[in-house]
Structure 1
């Protein structure tokens, strides 16, 4: 079976390479992946899939289906990029490219993710047809994974209700099945509006939105001591009120991303941070508005299914790399600090994990399978 599926994928690999490169070149950010979605849908349509668009009223979300009988097998594809990265191939150090941080880029490999999920959907369809097995194969075009939680809106619109199983993957430094849960999160923008005035002549006439934002951030940082130790929250200043210190700033915005192990925990922290923002507005006599951006639940692994996937991965084997791949990876690896390199390593827990890592010490590319462990 594995050899047959491998052959089915290899026979079409050049078209998959072309698609992946095209999605890389487009590099569209959350909820704006119009050309990316259109490009992937064109390939699926050519393969005989029927396409349903505008899922959950999102114009870059879609479902491609092949077959009408049997179990419903879903493959999740993502194709959104991140802002302020770099899109030049072959660059191993940001110092060598002055355009770094000026464009959108596929920093998390979603050009690969969406393409490989598509390849898996087509290969599964072809294999089941050869074996005379009925099944409905679906490719879910999932937008805005990077800070938009597109799948959350799709789930709320019941897009996944009749699935029997769903499969996804993500590029990474190891070949492994993720056996541990992830954190739930909420993202929101806090906007403050005050009153401008001359900071020297009439500061008493002004109401500083910048002061309000800074007070909110101070309060939120003090709050860290009083939430679960597993929680994380971070913020980015979107608007500091302008470039002139001689004017009391009348507007400001800050974006918060809050994470915690469970959905109810992240909601509690979000509510408390909203109160901190309200307090900051009261102290500065400014107006505060919360723009709720997105939220998603904690990922809960299917342990039975994960173990099966780990067995299949071991039978298929890890990818093999040529000298060019290894040389490029070494350049990338050399640009990392020792701290970065340690962070990239999955800490070994079991004896077999320690044995695998010891046998592959010093490799810059993982041409081995990491043992399945529910702790990772």
Structure 2
């Protein structure tokens, strides 16, 4: 039996376990840094499989590492399990129908992400045992990807210092390796404090924190004209200081995400945002403070690993959806707007554009790009990729043109085709990792490329050392 067949068999044998775990994490739908039930569920699953589990790593209450084996090479699989606020949705429904209005939901598919990576780790471990191979398999339980950057805390504390290669994936509406870079990001909360007063009787005695906040936003809007094309700055107001218009608001708060393609660039852009905030405080005679709450570097891809991973994805093949699955996929596709569909179709291979409406699921594998592509968003996998050669893939867990962070993603999160796509990712990751473990030349090539891409730079976490993970 070849590597692919063996890994597929090992993963399929435990399909019921993976379905049970994925659906439980879907039900828990816990937010960043508060994933107590999800993290414990996966930790227990690791222990029952013979892994040694270290909980609470890097000061993360819901972070953990499961290890099996000994010695080198060390291969790591990265799992996530945090949900999103406001995306509650009933399973098996193809119209928007929340379980709890404004409740949480897995709008990015992380219930599948964690379990797909877990399947890869379990299969790799069984392969090592059967073939009596030396090496260590690790599963990293990584909280707070959506907000908070849990992997950055892990990287800052040296959790990946002895890893030889790391592997991850993400739910999507395509099958492809993630051969791309991304924006680095700094997350920060800005607070303005003023003096309250009666807005009609004694406005001259008031100093409006809300005015300062609004002026900061105006200043940042003007700043956008004078920053790099790929940079991004966005915000959410979290505290307006009250709801009474006849009171001068004495406090106001907002959160900012500042993004740019390189760590040094995002630090410079963040300084400019801070200066805008200082100017707003000066104009309103208020006080301003800020606190960095998270951050991550840009992603460092690895073509040596991605080419091998693409080959395995092509050879394994995307699992064919059942007729029941396809009917559900078509209903989800019908719920999407023309803007979403037309935008997604622009990126389709020409041969797929005429048939996608009939079968709205990407069942083909895109080739590994010759050149790196770019993602304007950010991911804390980036901080892992600054420490160790890292490979990732996407698989089609969603109907074509599904937009991340929507109820449609939540609705698809417990479907059979979505789980099969997650296990397909697990098969590709496990095969690539074991190929690297058994082939010293591949691992050496990946390491050489990793060092060349860093070009002498060393990892510096964008989260200051005095900032610790919150505990919920």
Please name the residue that 1:110 is paired with. Answer: 110
Please name the residue that 2:314 is paired with. Answer: 314
Please name the residue that 1:44 is paired with. Answer: 46
Residues 1:367 and 2:377 aligned together: no
Please name the residue that 1:254 is paired with. Answer: 254
Change in Cα spacing, 1:166 to 1:345, as seen in structure 2 (3 Å) is: farther
Residues 1:122 and 2:122 aligned together: yes
Moved more, 241-250 or 338-347: 338-347
Secondary structure in structure 1 of the residue aligned to 2:176: coil
How far apart in 2 are the matches of 1:98 and 1:245? Answer: 35
Secondary structure in structure 2 of the residue aligned to 1:235: strand
How far apart in 1 are the matches of 2:328 and 2:233? Answer: 35
How far apart in 2 are the matches of 1:93 and 1:258? Answer: 34
Residues 1:139 and 2:139 aligned together: yes
Please name the residue that 1:82 is paired with. Answer: 84
Please name the residue that 2:199 is paired with. Answer: 199
Greater relative contact order (CA < 8 Å, ≥ 6 in sequence): 2
Q: Deviations over 1:183-211 (max 9, x none)?
A: 11111111111111111111111110110
Please name the residue that 1:160 is paired with. Answer: 160
Which of 71, 74, 83 is equivalent to 1:72? 74
Deviation, 1:361, is 6.2
Runs of 4+ in 1 over 6 A off after TM superposition: none
Deviation, 1:128, is 2.2
How far apart in 1 are the matches of 2:330 and 2:356? Answer: 15
Q: Deviations over 1:109-155 (max 9, x none)?
A: 11000011001000011122222222200000111101111101100
Question: Please, what is the CA RMSD of the aligned residues?
Answer: 1.6
Secondary structure in structure 1 of the residue aligned to 2:236: strand
Change in Cα spacing, 1:173 to 1:292, as seen in structure 2 (3 Å) is: same
How far apart in 2 are the matches of 1:87 and 1:23? Answer: 14
Unaligned 5+ residue runs, structure 1?
Answer: none
Please name the residue that 2:32 is paired with. Answer: 30
Deviation, 1:328, is 1.4
Deviation, 1:97, is 4.2
Change in Cα spacing, 1:123 to 1:137, as seen in structure 2 (3 Å) is: same
Do 1:356 and 1:370's aligned partners in 2 also have CA atoms closer than 8 Å?
no
Residues 1:60 and 2:62 aligned together: yes
**TM norm structure 2:** 0.76
Do 2:88 and 2:99's aligned partners in 1 also have CA atoms closer than 8 Å?
no
Please name the residue that 1:12 is paired with. Answer: 14
How far apart in 1 are the matches of 2:356 and 2:336? Answer: 19
**TM norm structure 1:** 0.95
Do 1:23 and 1:79's aligned partners in 2 also have CA atoms closer than 8 Å?
yes
How far apart in 1 are the matches of 2:98 and 2:33? Answer: 28
Q: Deviations over 1:297-334 (max 9, x none)?
A: 01110011111100111011012101221111112111
Change in Cα spacing, 1:98 to 1:132, as seen in structure 2 (3 Å) is: closer
Do 2:209 and 2:250's aligned partners in 1 also have CA atoms closer than 8 Å?
yes
Deviation, 1:32, is 0.9
Would you say how many aligned residue pairs link Structure 1 and Structure 2?
Answer: 370
Do 2:90 and 2:99's aligned partners in 1 also have CA atoms closer than 8 Å?
no
Do 2:148 and 2:294's aligned partners in 1 also have CA atoms closer than 8 Å?
yes
How far apart in 2 are the matches of 1:306 and 1:361? Answer: 30
Secondary structure in structure 1 of the residue aligned to 2:367: coil
Residues 1:270 and 2:270 aligned together: yes
Secondary structure in structure 1 of the residue aligned to 2:70: coil
Do 1:173 and 1:344's aligned partners in 2 also have CA atoms closer than 8 Å?
no
Do 1:329 and 1:364's aligned partners in 2 also have CA atoms closer than 8 Å?
yes
Q: Deviations over 1:262-308 (max 9, x none)?
A: 11111111110000001000111111110111110011100111111
How far apart in 2 are the matches of 1:36 and 1:121? Answer: 17
Deviation, 1:93, is 2.8
Do 1:321 and 1:367's aligned partners in 2 also have CA atoms closer than 8 Å?
no
